[in-house]
Chain A
Amino acid sequence: MNLGGSLSIPGLCGHGLHFQTDGFRLVYLAVAVLMWSISGIFSQEYMAHYEKRRRYDWFFWATFVATAGVFLSADFFTTFVFFEIMSFTSYVWVAFDERPESLRAAETYLTVAVIGGMVMLMGLFLLEDLCKTLRFDELAKAAKRVPRSRLYVAGGLLLFGFGAKAGCFPLHIWLPKAHPVAPAPASALLSGILTKAGVFGIIVISCRMFGADQLWGTGIACLGTVTMFWGALLALFSVNLKRTLACSSVSQIGFIVTGIGISCLLRAAGESGAMAVRGAFLHMINHSLFKLVLFLCAAAVFMNLHQLDLNDIRGFGRKKPLLLFCFLMGALGIGGMPLWSGYVSKTLLHESIVEYTQAAAAGLPAASAGSGTEVSGRVITGILNVTGHAAFWRAAEWIFLVSGGMTVAYMLKLFVALFVERHPDRQEEFDNMSSCYMRSASKAALVPAAALLPLLGMTAHQSLDRLADLGQTFFGQSGPAHRVDYFSFGNLKGGLISIGIGIILYLTIVRGWMMKGEVRQDRESNQTASGNRYYRDCWPAWLDLENLLYRPLIQTALPGICGAACRFVDRYLVSCTVTVFLACSSVLCRAMDQLTDGAIRLARESTHSQLPRASRQSRPGTAQAGGFFAKQKRRCTERKEQLAERLLWLEKRIQKNGRLVEESFSFGLMLFAVGLCLTLGYLLLVFVRN
């Protein structure tokens, strides 16, 4: 089947946009269309009571176009263009209802998106500078010619940008904040498919650009492992329906990223990474569908109750078989129950980790990190030696299984809270809603989506395998090494271990630790004992990366330090410099001024002295210094002679001043002449030299 096709629009946006279709892209486009149409139908009901529906609709479809653009792009430039548009249009979803917590979450989302986008852009610049191309097809070849250390930097920057959107570990902070406040159909898309746009980028970097690179593969796999564990842990401790689902998204993305990393590692070890790639790809599709179904169920809850806390919504699902069916399908799917589609992809991922563990145990080809400087080369070799051990990957396998178990545990928590437990006071009210909690159009959209999950899982070889065949060429893989029998004992064992761990975790952590009874005020109500127990938020409040690290860093540290420095510079440094300069120059000028005067004075007193020494006493200066009394005396006694004497004195003074002016002028002329001579001399010198 030929699905290849390409479209170029040269010149648009500066560098021209390039699109391409192949199996992977078409499958994902189909998933996007499916998700958008279903949540679009659902939005009709969900948004019915909001004023700003038009705004929502507009950005809803704009985001669709942008997302489709990302998945169809054939070079990083196009990806980036649509990626940024997607970030900004989806921002409006998060800020949609304009409550303070929404705005705060939206702020977080926007900050992560903008920072991620900018860092990614730098990665693109570096990559283009290194490889001279951004086209996916040419990257692999171009990347071989480039020094590895620089390529790692470029890849790392790109990974930062795409990982921020995908929700990888240190940058996952926006997901648990943004999802609970966004409209539920929008969060279905945010979690189901926008995060996949980030994963798309990670796939291109890892599988297309680096390909068989042990170091990169190890990094990605570790990132994935940490993400899946941390997300699952967050989800387990969360007591908010949508927040749990959001954290679950983080965890599931971790599964996918792990698969991508393992595929790089397998290729580096000289084996086929097909299994890992197929697992990652199928888990992408599955996770999109799970989250669609689960978030729409959450939407149904929120539409009716406008609450999301598990303690407030418990028991809502009772006597609503349709909701129960949909939620159950989603929960079983994501929990990895055999016969549901999640089991298939998780099995593949698990198998690929096992495969790599075996390869590592058998001994890997010697690490080929010759590039880079001596020291970094040695460090890299050291890292690879540690991570090349089979035990390391056995630990990863167990983290994988435990994360799977936690998935089961938190889904069980949600399921029990929604469908099994009873609300202490409002149960009757909830039961009465059973007939009218969802419109039929929404039901018609939701049920087929939910039914799809077991269908895909039961016909794994007919449906999922074919999808995987379509997709895997994009990852740079040709065919599967061998056909996987999903329901063999070995594979079932992994799934069952996970489920077992999940049930134990649920019973111990959720039931045993998180649920506390007897504190609620409704003691007098004669409910069963379990009705009185409530879900407690056990997650330590300070352990929130956003408040612990990022907000202080971005809001206080960066502008604080830089701003203070700049303000200091602005306010003091420049003006100080000017003041100091002025002060210095004025002192200097005054000194120069005095110098001339002094020279004149000196000349007058020595060589150019024209006055007899005696008469100096009657100089105006000394007369003034002679004091006030002398003048007074004269005024009193010799009033008659005063006029004549004064006139005489004045005349003398005028004469003297005139002489002074004359002298100064002549002196000035003299200095001028000296200057002229000097200039002439200089000119002569220059003339002679030339």
Chain B
Amino acid sequence: MKEILLAVPVLLPIAGGAGMLAMHLGTGGKNDDRRLMLLTAGLVAVNSLVIFWLLRFGTGAGLVLFRLFGNLTVRFELDPMGRVFAGLIAFLWPFATLYSFEYMKHEERKPTFFAYYVMTYGVTSGIALAGNLVTMYLCYEMLTLVTFPLVLFPMTKEAKRASRRYLYYSIGGAAFAFIGLVFVLSFSRTGNTDFIPGGVLNLEAGRAQRNLLLLVYVLAFFGFGVKAALFPLHGWLPKATVAPTPVTALLHAVAVVKSGAFAILRFTYFSYGTEFLRGSWAQEIVMAATLATIVFGSTMAVREIHWKRRLAYSTVSNLSYILFGAAMMSPLGLAAALSHLAVHAFMKICSFFCAGAVMHQTGKTQVYELDGLGKEMPVTFACLTVASLSLMGIPLFGGFISKWNLVQAAFACGSRSDGMMSESAIALPAAAGAGVWLPYVGVAVILYSALMTGIYMLTVLVRAYFPKVAVGDTGGEEGGNCRSQEGRTKFRDPGWMMLTPLLIFAAVILVLGLHSAPLMRLLAEIGGEAG
């Protein structure tokens, strides 16, 4: 009986969202709004409670919902790694919903928005709870389809173009991922694709076809990497910032992109298994790709002056921190990747919500328009300060912890390859290649990226707190300043529905920064099991 509960977090929101679409809820009237809010809030809250209940009391064995045919089953299970992701989204979703109530107050077509928003919750939980690769792949495809209308939501030309791009990229990526699924299924030791720590690949059969399997791994990595905005395939993410901020924040900084990263982690550590991949050329390729993405994302973020797009580029680079952890193929790497996955979710959602709060209150979207807002919206910018410092990796904040773990894992990875090379250079010829120095390059790349993060986040803060009023850098800016200084109303912090999530996320960042030991212990256990 307990097992059946596992399907609830997936099916309830999907059914609820579909129901909301079917009901044709009216808009505009106060009662309509209230009904919509109650319905959405109820669904999300109940769902989160169910997930927390599951996390608290355990679930027993997995649940096979139905069979597609043969051994292709849709199966849900809550293992430790799934717990981390499920807990994360169950924590974030209610607050993000609260935020979007206020943000979307004056929008048209609210019921559609919230219906898909709720459905996305279900699909994302599906990814977190998926017990085998088939289920995860199904949810992964569904995620594209349910989030597509959300990107399209503003219905502007730009939004249409962005959503089309999103669709192409995601579907195309999933096709590559599908290849991976087929190969895992045919080379599986167990005959199905269940997630087992250490992988399900039949190593003897695999060794014969090693290069083919590695090629497929690289393809699938890039395929799943589309959602995680891996470098040549990142194009959709900055474009997708045209969506309303709650979507950008929750989906494009957490749910969707983290699903991509999570899928890669699953695929690497639970399907292929690190033993097969470690030290191979496939590892080098994917690691090099993640490093290129980190450099690319952080550099582009510095150059971008549209605030939300800047944050999106920052997401591109930060996601590759996670993937870099994944590409290390070591227990420490997995733990580090998961810790960055969790911490980055809070940091980025907090930054996006601040950007959204500013947009909502002032309508300003460009970085150079933010002069002096720090004093007018103190709470928002205090939260942004916390998030920015954390993103930079300043101690006391969560980002520092995950970055520390990541770099430590990289060093361990580098010295392990050193050791491997000296011990068995003949047995593992592949290990003697780029795998030795790549982790060290990674450390340098993270250093570079941290500097760039400093530049792109701190310029925002410095502008907000210390406006350049007297002598601007350029004439245009100066003119804009003068105008805004003279006759404008003072902006204020947004209402409680937007502030509460901000404050809570900022607090979580601080708590994670100060007292991260329990979380890290949990992640280290997962890493030890699967690495």
Contacts and interface: CB of A to CB of B under 8 A. Distances in A.
A14 B407 contact: no
A567 B300 contact: yes
A129 B412 contact: yes
B525 to A, nearest CB: 17
Interface in A102-145: 103, 106-107, 110, 114-115, 117-119, 121-122, 125-126, 128-129
Interface in B443-480: 443-444, 447, 450-451, 454-455, 458, 462, 466-468, 470-471
Contacts of A355: none
A100 B468 contact: yes
Contacts of B454: 114-115, 118
Contacts of B517: 10-11, 14
A99 to B, nearest CB: 7
Interface string A1-19: 0000000001111110000
Nearest to A125: B407
B393 interface: yes
A117 B393 CA distance: 10
A567 B305 CA distance: 13
B235 interface: yes
Given A14-B516, A85-B395, A100 B471 contact: yes
A559 B450 CA distance: 14
Interface string A168-212: 000000000000000000000000000000000000000000000
Contacts of A85: 394-396
Contact of B296 (A95, A103, A122, A566): A566
A574 interface: yes
Contact of A14 (B299, B389, B404, B447): B404
Given A100-B470, A114-B454, A114-B458, A12 B515 contact: yes
A95 B466 contact: yes
Contact of B389 (A88, A118, A567): A88
A84 B470 CA distance: 30
A95 B411 CA distance: 37
A577 B400 CA distance: 37
A16 to B, nearest CB: 8
Given A13-B400, A100-B470, A129-B415, A562 B299 contact: yes
Given A14-B404, A118-B450, A129 B515 contact: no
Interface in A562-612: 562-563, 566-567, 569-570, 573-574, 577
A28 interface: no
Contact of B462 (A107, A119, A570): A107
Given A118-B451, A121-B393, A129-B411, A14 B303 contact: no
B395 A566 contact: no
Contacts of A12: 514-515
A563 B303 contact: yes
A198 B8 CA distance: 57
A119 B454 CA distance: 13
Most B CB within 10 A of own CB, among A12, A14, A125: A14
B447 A119 contact: yes
Contact of B396 (A81, A118, A119): A81
Contacts of B411: 125-126, 128-129
Given A110-B458, A114-B454, A129-B411, A13 B396 contact: yes
Interface in B122-154: none
B180 interface: no
Contacts of B434: none
A128 B447 contact: no
Contacts of B412: 129
A559 B411 CA distance: 28
B232 A574 contact: yes
Given A14-B400, A14-B404, A118-B450, A563 B468 contact: no
A103 B468 CA distance: 8
Contacts of A566: 295-296, 299-300, 303
Given A100-B471, A129-B412, A13 B401 contact: yes
Contacts of B300: 563, 566-567, 570
B45 interface: no
A122 B443 contact: yes
A563 B299 contact: yes
B408 interface: yes
Nearest to B385: A88
B466 A88 contact: no
Nearest to A107: B462
A574 B237 CA distance: 14
A588 B337 CA distance: 42
B520 interface: yes
A98 interface: yes
Contacts of A110: 458, 462
B513 interface: yes
Among B235, B389, B396: residue with most chain A CB under 10 A = B396
A114 B513 CA distance: 19
B462 A13 contact: no
A13 B514 contact: yes
A129 B440 CA distance: 12
B312 interface: no
A515 B374 CA distance: 46
A437 B232 CA distance: 66
A535 interface: no
Interface in A286-315: none
Contacts of B444: 122
B302 interface: yes
Contacts of B392: 114
Nearest to A85: B396
A14 B415 CA distance: 23
B176 to A, nearest CB: 14
Contacts of B516: 11, 13-14
A128 B296 CA distance: 28
B407 A81 contact: no
A63 to B, nearest CB: 14
Contacts of B299: 559, 562-563, 566
Interface centre among A98, A121, A128, A573 (most CB of B within 10 A): A121
B447 A563 contact: no
Residue of A13, A84, A103, A559 with most chain B CB atoms under a 10 A cut-off: A13
Contacts of A13: 395-396, 400-401, 513-514, 516
B480 to A, nearest CB: 16
A563 B313 CA distance: 13
Contact of A106 (B389, B394, B408, B466): B466
A563 B396 contact: no
Contact of B466 (A81, A103, A129, A567): A103
A114 B302 contact: no
Nearest to B458: A110
A562 B395 contact: no
Interface in B301-328: 302-303
Contacts of B396: 13, 81, 84-85
B407 A84 contact: no
A80 interface: yes
A51 to B, nearest CB: 11
Contacts of B470: 99-100
B451 A114 contact: yes
Contacts of A129: 408, 411-412, 415
A567 B304 CA distance: 10
Contacts of B467: 98
Nearest to A565: B299
A106 B395 CA distance: 21
A125 B443 contact: yes
Interface of B: 232, 235, 295-296, 299-300, 302-303, 389, 392-396, 400-401, 404, 407-408, 411-412, 415, 443-444, 447, 450-451, 454-455, 458, 462, 466-468, 470-471, 513-517, 520
Question: Nearest 3 pairs between A and B by C-beta?
Answer: A129-B411, A81-B395, A11-B517
15 contacts: A12-B514, A13-B395, A14-B520, A81-B396, A88-B389, A95-B466, A100-B470, A103-B468, A110-B462, A114-B451, A118-B454, A125-B411, A559-B455, A563-B299, A566-B296
